[in-house]
Chains A and B, each alone.
Chain A
Amino acid sequence: MLKITNLHAKVGEKAILKGLSLTVNPGEVHAIMGPNGSGKSTLSYVLAGRPGYTVTDGTAEYEGKDLLTMDPEIRAREGVFLAFQYPVEIPGVSNKYFLKAAYNAQRKHRGEPEMDAGAFLKFIKEKAKSVEMDPSFLNRSVNEGFSGGEKKRNEILQLAVLEPRLALLDETDSGLDIDALKVVAGGVNKMRDAKRAFVVVTHYQRLLDYIVPDFVHVLSGGRIVKSGGKELALELEKKGYGWIEEKVAA
């Protein structure tokens, strides 16, 4: 589904990713762990197409297509979703309208008819319920005045509505208390199936108690330096990142 080969990328003039390779198959959940500054968020942004991030070498294929040349909106319509570490507040645009515009853009892309307002409202109310979100949030401006937890929950609502094939979760656990973390993880787990893949980017092992990964990768210095099963996350939790970085340096 996703095949990243020797990816190099810079932000401004600063090289961040330096030869990252990763293959993700349908149905898999991959966790990318790493210390601050290792390039975790850069990887998410590069895959989602954020302006300002320049790919200098390497490739990323998504379902056989070159992901890196697509506009961000095309990637989204093709089924790639990034749950932001810091979801953006958009005063004046209601959550409901935003979700509808996003959802219908995707349907249009697939050559399906747009869903009308009444049916869509019913649809998103169900989805809101599934992530334990009060329906009043649908009428509020996108993320405006939401608490950290509410913002993350709103990301998961979008995930549930857009039903991507490849979901990238960037530090979705940051700023969440344990109850909110459980809700968010629950939302993700409900969507796990044989066709959908997740790439979960996180600094801490805690999230992985709730979203159990099939593979864990350690990102350091812009490359994946170690891969393993879920037990690798526990080892990292115990020993920290220092031992891996030392090994790489040696």
Chain B
Amino acid sequence: MIARDLAAQKEGWRYTPAAILTGPDFKPAGVPERILPLAGRVLCPIGFHRAALVNGRWEAKHAVLKLPDGVTVEPLTEASGVEEFLNRPAPEDLPLAKTASAARDGFVVRVARHVHADRPIHLVHISEASSCAESSQARVLVVLEPGATAELVEETLSFGDAPSWKNVRSQIVLGEGAFLRHHRVVREGAQGRLTTALEVSLASRARYESHALNLGGLFAREDLRVRLEGEGAECHLNGLALLGGSEFADHHSIVEHIAVGGITRQLYKAVIDDKARYVFDGLISVKPGAQKTDAQVYNKNLLLSEDARVNTNPEFKILADDVSCKHGGAVGQLSLEALFYLRSRGIGADEARRLLVYAFGSEMVDRVALEPLKLAIEGALHGRMPEENL
């Protein structure tokens, strides 16, 4: 079924090695024999609200939810009154999202009108080690009513030597003036595959800030669809991928400006080492009538080895005439001049390289306002530094 879905996805998958998904004979993941603690395995500290899906199923033992009035975090199986959202069909061109629509479990997060979620909400997707290739499906629904605000950390992880594949369909609905800060951290294992489709809709003056942070994993294909439906809606899309070995990551996004005065700021960066590959495809589509749109999409890449590869395509489709749109893509290597400059001051070659890689990525880390997460990302960035000599 999934192989057929993938075969249908030709456009937009030109640079995506779908064989990594179709190769193994994936079986639906079961419940693990033992529920292992999350401590030491997840990024975010105790103190955040937390819920977890293990192999695509809500795990009550992992839930730490002392939620204030007006904030709910529930398993999909128990949530009611959200059919209106859940019944919305997935975009035609994202058949994997259609597959995930049938998921039996997931997260439903709701924040009521004018309520501010007191602490960040940490949602964990985890694939536990298994003896055979396993896949799981999940859905995520986040609804912020008008004027509500929340911070979300979504983390995906996988363990073990057998192939695993998580396929997630997410929907985020932001009411008028709502604000969501969304961190999506990918920390998949050497056999971890992840496909996500995230649809975000914004009413007037709503704001969506996202940080797509890929810190490793065999394969991640992430589709993002943002619709700025109300006047003056705003999205800030940040991305950082740190890839090495034979890892692959792919960020595809389409931002639609439908109403007047929408703002988009998109900047994705990738550091690509060894034989790793990265794909960026970012389209901003300005619909007729979406005047005064102010949008930017940029992608910058740093290649650290001869075999590293990147395909970048920042793009606009503009059907309004009074807009400001800028885009750009860049692919570069470490500056030999800068390396020599650092070395001429006594800084060793390895450290100089590390410093320059860190300098490239640190801009994106600095944008993460959530302190404990920022520290973890900084650590990951340091851990991903190239080690070999010049």
A-side residues, CB < 8 A to B, are 48-51, 71-73, 75-77, 81-82, 84, 87-93, 98, 101-102, 105-106, 109, 141, 158, 162
The answer on a CB contact under 8 Å between B340 and A105 is no
B-side residues, CB < 8 A to A, are 335-338, 340-349, 351-352, 355-356, 358-360, 362-363
Name the contact of A98 in the complex, choosing from B335, B340, B342, B343 (C-beta under 8 A): B342
A186 to B362 CA separation, bound complex (whole angstroms): 36
Could you tell me the distance in whole angstroms from the C-beta of B253 to the nearest C-beta in chain A? 24
Name the contact of A49 in the complex, choosing from B344, B356, B359 (C-beta under 8 A): B344
| Interface pairs (28), CB distance under 8 Å | A49-B343, A49-B344, A51-B336, A51-B340, A71-B343, A71-B349, A72-B340, A72-B343, A72-B344, A73-B343, A73-B346, A75-B344, A76-B346, A84-B344, A90-B342, A90-B356, A91-B359, A92-B360, A92-B362, A93-B355, A98-B342, A98-B347, A98-B355, A101-B355, A102-B347, A105-B345, A105-B351, A141-B359
Q: Which residues of A contact B347 (CB under 8 A)?
A: 73, 98, 101-102, 105
The answer on a CB contact under 8 Å between B346 and A106 is yes
A140 to B182 CA separation, bound complex (whole angstroms): 29
Q: Which residues of B contact A98 (CB under 8 A)?
A: 342, 345, 347, 355
The answer on a CB contact under 8 Å between A88 and B335 is yes
A236 to B42 CA separation, bound complex (whole angstroms): 70
The answer on a CB contact under 8 Å between B346 and A105 is yes
The answer on a CB contact under 8 Å between A101 and B351 is yes
The answer on a CB contact under 8 Å between A93 and B344 is no
The answer on a CB contact under 8 Å between B349 and A73 is yes
Could you tell me the distance in whole angstroms from the C-beta of A76 to the nearest C-beta in chain B? 4
13 extra interface residue pairs, beta carbon distance < 8 Å, beyond A75-B344, A88-B338, A109-B346: A72-B343, A73-B348, A73-B349, A87-B341, A92-B362, A93-B359, A98-B347, A98-B355, A101-B345, A101-B355, A102-B346, A105-B345, A141-B359
User: What are the 5 A-B residue pairs with the smallest beta carbon separation, nearest first?
Assistant: A92-B359, A76-B346, A102-B345, A88-B341, A105-B346
Could you tell me the distance in whole angstroms from the C-beta of A1 to the nearest C-beta in chain B? 18
The answer on a CB contact under 8 Å between B338 and A92 is no
The answer on a CB contact under 8 Å between A76 and B343 is yes
Q: Which residues of B contact A106 (CB under 8 A)?
A: 346
A156 to B223 CA separation, bound complex (whole angstroms): 50
Could you tell me the distance in whole angstroms from the C-beta of B47 to the nearest C-beta in chain A? 27
Could you tell me the distance in whole angstroms from the C-beta of A102 to the nearest C-beta in chain B? 4
Q: Which residues of A contact B349 (CB under 8 A)?
A: 71, 73
The answer on a CB contact under 8 Å between B363 and A92 is yes
Chain A: which residue is nearest B362 at the CB level?
A: A92
User: Which of A48, A75, A76, A141 has the most chain B CB atoms closer than 10 A to its own CB?
Assistant: A76
Chain A: which residue is nearest B348 at the CB level?
A: A73
Could you tell me the distance in whole angstroms from the C-beta of A146 to the nearest C-beta in chain B? 14
Name the contact of A158 in the complex, choosing from B337, B345, B360 (C-beta under 8 A): B345
Q: Which residues of A contact B346 (CB under 8 A)?
A: 73, 76-77, 102, 105-106, 109, 162
